[in-house]
């Protein structure tokens, strides 16, 4: 577990300086007063360590409103997650494919089912209530399903195939409106020429973050080959489908490894090469690159607010660990392809360390929940940080039971039922206590 301290440690250089000074002391003339020597030595060591401290401080990014996340071990709270409810398929109410989910203010849970093109509704105790939505292209219908989002008393469900957001009333679960997500003024923006609109992030019913991605050319002999030169431009857009041209973020897209396997050129994107992490609240955007603990916050209009930073020590990367991760995460056939690329990629493509971050969430109290990658790849170390940058608690949690939503004092995780092999949502009550 990573710990920070305000106590200066003697570096290798300081140890050498101390040894050198001691050598001269032991061999000096007897008429030199011991007290004088010790005073001089003390001043030298202080100046040396101040220089080291200044060097360490120079690694801290120079950003406005930078909040350095501190870890004062004695002040951290102990967290307990007490299991309270399970949300799952039953004999009479089957979930075809348990997709993304969200929770309303009363604790009811809404699960997207992309296989059946519907949203399943549970009460806060895990009892199945109803479902809404069906396959099709008309009102209240879906050709594909993204995650549901609760906001302002309604459930909003994204259809990436038709690029529209359908709004449902919580009283009748009838569709009460549709918002199309495809930007109508893209052609007015020169820097978006040739880019594809390929993603959508919900902020609130009036503001969205859409992204545009450069095209991937997989042929290395092609003049425009850009396997690892792709990028994404994120633009704010209003409900009238107009991009706000002054509010944009340009970040790298997923990177890939490439290799020649049995005479065949192969490439595959891997998150361990770096990814963009984004989460939102009703009035804020949280954005980070996974390589370091550096999380920038913007308001809903795209104005920079603050940055959370911690000098995190990334875990050492090995191909063996990466291969084990593919085998546990992907189905047979898919992981074989991915493993072959990892095994045969040139050494210069292989990173030295894993990313620092796996995921970021924000709860309804404005606290950041950050999943960090540690040496034990079967677990994540979660950091809970308040709005001022104070670290509230740290705890390890199984990687294969990711925390996906934190709301109303509960954490909701995705797990696999050992008996049925089906995915379920498990609800835990959060309790924080002072350490004794």
pLDDT > 70? residue 13: no
pLDDT > 60? residue 22: no
pLDDT > 60? residue 331: yes
Helical residues (DSSP H) of 310-428, grouped into ranges: 319-329, 334-344
Query: Do 52 and 70 fall into the same domain?
Result: no
pLDDT of residue 29: 40
Burial class for 427, CB neighbours closer than 10 Å (0-12, 13-18, 19+) = buried
pLDDT > 50? residue 116: yes
Query: Do 53 and 79 fall into the same domain?
Result: no
Q: Taking a C-beta distance cutoff of 8 angstroms, is the pair 230, 213 a contact?
A: yes
Token pair listed for 317: 């990367």
Global confidence as pTM: 0.84
Query: Do 42 and 76 fall into the same domain?
Result: no
Query: Do 19 and 75 fall into the same domain?
Result: no
Q: Is residue 6 part of a domain?
A: no
Range of the domain at 292: 66-92+190-434
pLDDT > 60? residue 334: yes
Nearest alpha-carbon partner for 184 in 147, 148, 210: 210
Query: Do 345 and 380 fall into the same domain?
Result: yes
Q: Is residue 275 part of a domain?
A: yes
Q: Is residue 167 part of a domain?
A: no
Top pLDDT among 120 and 199 is at 120
pLDDT of residue 204: 94
Report the domain count for the chain.
Answer: 2
Q: Is residue 323 part of a domain?
A: yes
| Highest mean pLDDT out of 22-36, 64-78, 172-186 | 172-186
Nearest alpha-carbon partner for 175 in 148, 124, 140: 140
Q: Taking a C-beta distance cutoff of 8 angstroms, is the pair 397, 40 a contact?
A: no
pLDDT in tens, 86-115: 999 988 899 999 999 999 999 999 999 999
Evaluated on CA atoms 427, 166, 179, 161, the torsion sign reads: positive
Nearest alpha-carbon partner for 95 in 76, 64, 117, 79: 117
Q: Is residue 118 part of a domain?
A: no
pLDDT of residue 225: 63
The pLDDT > 70 percentage for the chain reads 83
Query: Do 45 and 80 fall into the same domain?
Result: no
pLDDT band at 394 (very low <50, low <70, confident <90, very high): very high
pLDDT of residue 143: 95
pLDDT in tens, 223-280: 556 677 788 899 999 999 999 887 788 888 889 999 999 999 899 999 999 999 999 9
The pLDDT mean for the chain works out to 85
Q: Is residue 164 part of a domain?
A: no
pLDDT > 80? residue 57: no
Q: Taking a C-beta distance cutoff of 8 angstroms, is the pair 112, 99 a contact?
A: yes
pLDDT in tens, 178-221: 999 999 999 888 889 888 998 889 999 999 999 999 877 666 67
pLDDT of residue 297: 97
Query: Do 283 and 428 fall into the same domain?
Result: yes
Helix-strand-coil split of the chain, %, nearest 5? 20, 45, 40
pLDDT > 50? residue 420: yes
Q: Is residue 181 part of a domain?
A: no
DSSP characters over 80-112: EEEEEEEE---SSS--SSEEEEEE-TT--EEEE
Query: Do 221 and 367 fall into the same domain?
Result: yes
Top pLDDT among 210 and 26 is at 210
Q: Is residue 111 part of a domain?
A: no
pLDDT band at 354 (very low <50, low <70, confident <90, very high): very high
In the Cβ-directed half-sphere of 111, how many Cα atoms lie within 13 Å?
31
DSSP state, 305? E
N-to-C CA span, the chain: 19
Nearest alpha-carbon partner for 181 in 156, 152, 210, 212: 210
pLDDT of residue 223: 58
Query: Do 52 and 199 fall into the same domain?
Result: no
Average pLDDT over residues 370-382: 97
Angle of helix 34-57 relative to helix 12-27, nearest 10 degrees, comes to: 170
pLDDT > 80? residue 30: no
């Amino acid at each position: 577990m990573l710990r920070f301290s305000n106590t200066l440690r003697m570096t290798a250089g300081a140890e050498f300086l101390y040894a050198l000074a001691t050598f001269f002391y032991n061999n000096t003339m007897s008429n030199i007063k011991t007290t004088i020597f010790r005073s001089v030595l003390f001043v030298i060591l202080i100046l040396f360590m101040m220089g080291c401290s200044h060097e360490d401080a120079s690694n801290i990014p120079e950003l406005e409103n930078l909040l350095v996340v501190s870890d004062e071990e004695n002040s951290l709270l102990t967290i307990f997650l007490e299991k309270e409810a399970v949300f799952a398929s039953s004999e009479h109410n089957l979930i075809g494919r348990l997709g993304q989910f969200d929770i309303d203010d009363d604790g009811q849970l809404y699960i997207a089912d992309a296989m059946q093109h519907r949203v399943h509704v549970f009460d806060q105790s895990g009892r199945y209530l109803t479902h809404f939505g069906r396959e099709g292209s008309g009102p209240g219908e879906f050709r594909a399903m993204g995650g549901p989002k609760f906001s302002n008393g309604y459930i909003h469900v994204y259809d990436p195939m038709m690029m529209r957001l359908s709004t449902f009333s919580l009283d009748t679960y009838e569709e009460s409106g549709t918002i199309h997500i495809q930007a109508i003024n893209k052609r007015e923006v020169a820097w978006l020429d040739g880019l594809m609109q390929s993603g959508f992030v919900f902020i609130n019913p009036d503001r969205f973050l859409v992204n545009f991605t450069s095209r991937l050319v997989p042929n290395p002999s092609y003049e425009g080959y850009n396997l690892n030169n792709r990028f994404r431009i994120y633009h704010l857009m209003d409900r009238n489908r107009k991009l706000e041209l002054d509010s944009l973020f340009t970040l790298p897209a997923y990177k890939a490894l490439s290799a020649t396997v049995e005479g065949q050129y192969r490439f595959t994107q891997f998150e361990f090469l770096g990814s963009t992490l984004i989460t939102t609240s009703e009035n804020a955007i949280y954005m980070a690159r996974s390589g370091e603990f550096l999380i920038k916050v913007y308001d809903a209009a795209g104005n920079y607010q603050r940055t959370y930073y911690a000098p995190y020590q990334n875990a050492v990367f090995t191909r063996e660990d990466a291969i084990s991760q593919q085998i546990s995460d992907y189905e047979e056939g898919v992981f074989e392809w991915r493993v072959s690329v990892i095994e045969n990629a040139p050494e210069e493509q292989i990173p030295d360390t894993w990313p620092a971050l796996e995921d970021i969430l924000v709860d309804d109290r404005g606290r950041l929940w950050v999943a960090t990658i540690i040496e034990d790849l079967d677990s994540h170390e979660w950091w809970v940080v308040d709005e001022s940058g104070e670290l509230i608690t740290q705890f390890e949690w199984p990687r294969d039971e990711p925390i996906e939503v934190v709301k109303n004092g509960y954490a909701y995780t995705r797990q696999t039922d050992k008996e049925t092999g089906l995915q379920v949502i498990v609800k835990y009550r959060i309790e924080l206590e002072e350490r004794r």
